[in-house]
Amino acid sequence: SSASPYEGKAAVAWDAGQELSIEDIEVAPPKAHEVRIEIYYTGVCHTEPRRASADPWCDLTDAYTLSGKDPEGAFPIVLGHEGAGVVESVGEGVTSVKPGDYVVALYTPECKECKFCKSGKTNLCGKIRATQGRGVMPDGTSRFKCKGKDLLHFMGTSTFSQYTVVADISVVAITKDAPMDRTCLLGCGITTGYGAAVETAKVEEGSTVAIFGAGCVGLSVVQGAVKNKAGKIIVVDLNPSKKEWAEKFGATDFVNPAELKNQTIQEKLIEMTDGGCDYTFDCTGNVGVMRAALEACHKGWGQSIVIGVAAAGQEISTRPFQLVTGRVWKGCAFGGIKGRSQLPDLVADYMDGKLKVDEFITHRKTLQDINQAFDVMKQGDCIRCVVNM
Ligand code: NAD
Ligand code: AHE
Ligand code: ZN
């Protein structure tokens, strides 16, 4: 019953830099405005390994990070934020989903009532961001226990577990016709890139676009640029095997910066686009790339969208003149997409053959072998590995 704890397996990150450990864990029933989900499939996003490593993440201050008390870098924790499953039970007051619903977990929640949600200017929701960053549920406690210890939640989702509990604003029901081993990827990578192009940049017909980094996120930006009928879609990647991937998703050009002679990548792109791109996207997390992406924008109006997550302590720089002369630097999380309002439409587009999803899946693993998903990710030929829970 919904009142009892559930036993299930989960991949636990006990400490920084260690392999995930498959453990039997106890998952407490959902409290008010919470939902317990049986996770069927989870993708492994390229944000994940950084989080599982010793790299301390913090969006507060450096001093705070260095103190070792970084709330977003704590252990033990259940990672995972790209998951789909079925609602097992709901807590008091939950009206948006019911047991049996097929759902995708949302690391960017949508309460529809906070200042952010009502602004009409952002998809970031403020309602539970503080507790989510501390790895706990909105009431300040954890629903996970293993070997007598509480485990932290991750990004409000913790999908590397057969059962997880999330806030009711962190989940969206989707059609039961859609296969969950694909729709899990709409929980991060695909939505992030596609949304960055169509929702955040609102790429216009005929415009010139450059995408740095052809992973799941970058290729999804390509897909969004194709959807909005961009004229020139240039993919930039150091891995030569990404040329084929870029073309498969509709890119018109591919540039490997390592092959340029006496020319920076920004100079090359400016030359290719008669003065610069209308839109550029960083999908690498490298701050040097972010600078090049901004400087490859057209004077007067070019916009550069930062999507990549940089390593702790990294900072971006450019000459202010770049902004004085009209280039715009912005960024987005989850593509600027509001999960509860917009994800069902993306699923419908997928079901109608208008949104590629299957094409991103290059590897599959079981929960037992989830560490292998991290290994294949480090090889250049993995776009997305889907884990069968
Ligand atoms: P990925 O590792 O699959 O793709 C990165 C690509 O960038 C690779 O093809 C790699 O060869 C290429 N690359 C690396 N360095 C490069 C350089 N200097 N120049 C050109 N290309 C280079 O990763 P992914 O899963 O597609 O994620 C991309 C980035 O987006 C990561 O930083 C990830 O953490 C971040 N991310 C952000 C959000 C968000 O909401 N903002 C969501 C998901 C992922
Ligand atoms: N805490 C890190 C930044 C982490 C980050 O930027 N996360 C993205 C999602 S990455 C998904 O693969 C995000 O959603 N950010 C918005 C938010 O509110 O966290 C740091 O570097 O400080
Ligand atoms: Zn992600």
Chain segment 243-273, per-residue pLDDT in tens: 999 999 999 999 999 999 999 999 999 999 9
Give, for ligand 2, the residue of 55, 59, 110 to mutate: max count of ligand atoms closer than 8 Å to Cβ.
59
pLDDT of 51 reads 63
Quick one: tokens of 160?
Answer: 């590397």
Q: What is the number of the ligand closest to the CA of 305? A: 1
Decide whether any atom of ligand 2 lies within 6 Å of the 123 Cβ.
Answer: no
Tell me if residue 45 is catalytic.
yes
Q: Does residue 146 carry a catalytic annotation?
A: no
CA-atom Rg of the chain in angstroms: 21
Ligand 2 atom having least distance to the Cα of 60: 22
**Nearest bound ligand to the CA of residue 156:** 2
* pLDDT tens sequence across 11-49: 999 987 789 999 999 999 999 999 999 999 999 998 887
Averaged pLDDT, 159-170: 98
List 50, 114, 267, 362, catalytic entry: 114
Q: Which of 78-87, 95-104, 309-318, 355-364 has the lowest mean pLDDT?
A: 309-318
Identify the active-site residue in 36, 182, 298, 384.
Answer: 384
pLDDT value at position 270?
98
Confidence of residue 68 (pLDDT cuts 50, 70, 90): very low
Residue type at 109? P
Question: What is the rounded distance in angstroms from the CA atom of residue 312 to the CA atom of residue 310?
Answer: 6
**pLDDT at residue 53 in the model:** 59
In angstroms, what is the span from residue 218 Cα to ligand 1's centroid? 7
* Closest-approaching ligand to the CA atom of 212: 1
Q: Which of 136, 21, 130 is nearest to 74 (CA)?
A: 136
Residue 190: CB within 6 Å of ligand 2? no
User: 296 vs 60, which has greater pLDDT?
Assistant: 296
Least confident of 27-36, 55-64, 83-92, 239-248: 55-64
Q: How confident is the model at residue 74 (pLDDT cuts 50, 70, 90)?
A: confident
Q: Which of 60-64, 103-107, 146-150 has the lowest mean pLDDT?
A: 60-64
Q: pLDDT tens-digit profile of 128-147? A: 999 999 999 999 999 999 99
Specify the pLDDT at position 312: 77
Task: Provide the pLDDT for residue 10.
Answer: 98
Active-site entry in 23, 33, 88, 125: 125
Question: Which residue, judged by its Cα, is nearest atom 10 of ligand 1?
Answer: 213
Q: Mean pLDDT lowest for which of 64-78, 186-200, 227-241?
A: 64-78
Structural domains of the chain ordered from first start: 6-187+357-388 (3.90.180.10), 192-332 (3.40.50.720)
Closest CA to 246 of 229, 232, 260: 232
The reply to whether 277 belongs to the active site is no
Contact predicate 107/81, CB 8 Å: yes
384-388 vs 34-43, strand pairing mode: antiparallel
Look at residue 82 in the predicted model and tell me its pLDDT. 97
- What phi and psi, each to the nearest 5 degrees, are found at residue 215? -90, -160
Q: What is the pLDDT of residue 61?
A: 33
Assess contact for 281 and 216: CB atoms under 8 A.
Answer: no
Residue 184 reports pLDDT greater than 70 = yes
Structure confidence at residue 47 (pLDDT): 82
Full DSSP string of 107-152: SS---SSSHHHHHSS-S---TTHHHHHHTS-TTS--SEEETTEEEB
| Atom 10 of ligand 2, nearest CA residue | 47
Ligand 1: nearest atom to the Cα of 214: 9
In the sheet that holds 6-12, the strands lie side by side as: 6-12, 21-27, 144-146, 149-151
pLDDT of residue 52: 64
- The DSSP H or E segment spanning 172 is strand 171-174
CB 76 within 8 A of CB 310: no
What confidence score (pLDDT) does residue 54 get? 46
**57 has a pLDDT exceeding 50:** no
117 a catalytic residue: yes
How far apart are the CA of 186 and the centre of ligand 3, in A?
10
**382 is a catalytic site residue:** no
Q: Is 82 in the pocket of ligand 2 (CB under 6 A)?
A: no
CA of 46 to the centre of ligand 1 (A): 7
Output the pLDDT for position 62.
Answer: 33
Residues 6+ apart with CB under 8 A from 270: 276, 296
Angle at 341 between CA 350 and CA 94, to 5 degrees: 115
CB neighbour class for 41 (10 Å; exposed up to 12, middle 13-18, buried from 19): buried
pLDDT digits (tens, 9 = 90+) for 198-250: 999 999 999 999 999 999 999 999 999 999 999 999 999 999 999 999 999 99
Confidence of residue 72 (pLDDT cuts 50, 70, 90): low
Residue 113 phi/psi, 5° resolution? -130, -10
- Kindly report the protein residue whose alpha carbon is nearest to atom 22 of ligand 2: 59
Percent of the chain residues topping a pLDDT of 90: 87
Q: List, chain by chain if needed, residues with CB within 6 Å of any ligand 1 atom.
A: 45-47, 188-189, 192, 212-218, 236-239, 242, 257, 283-286, 289, 307-309, 333-334
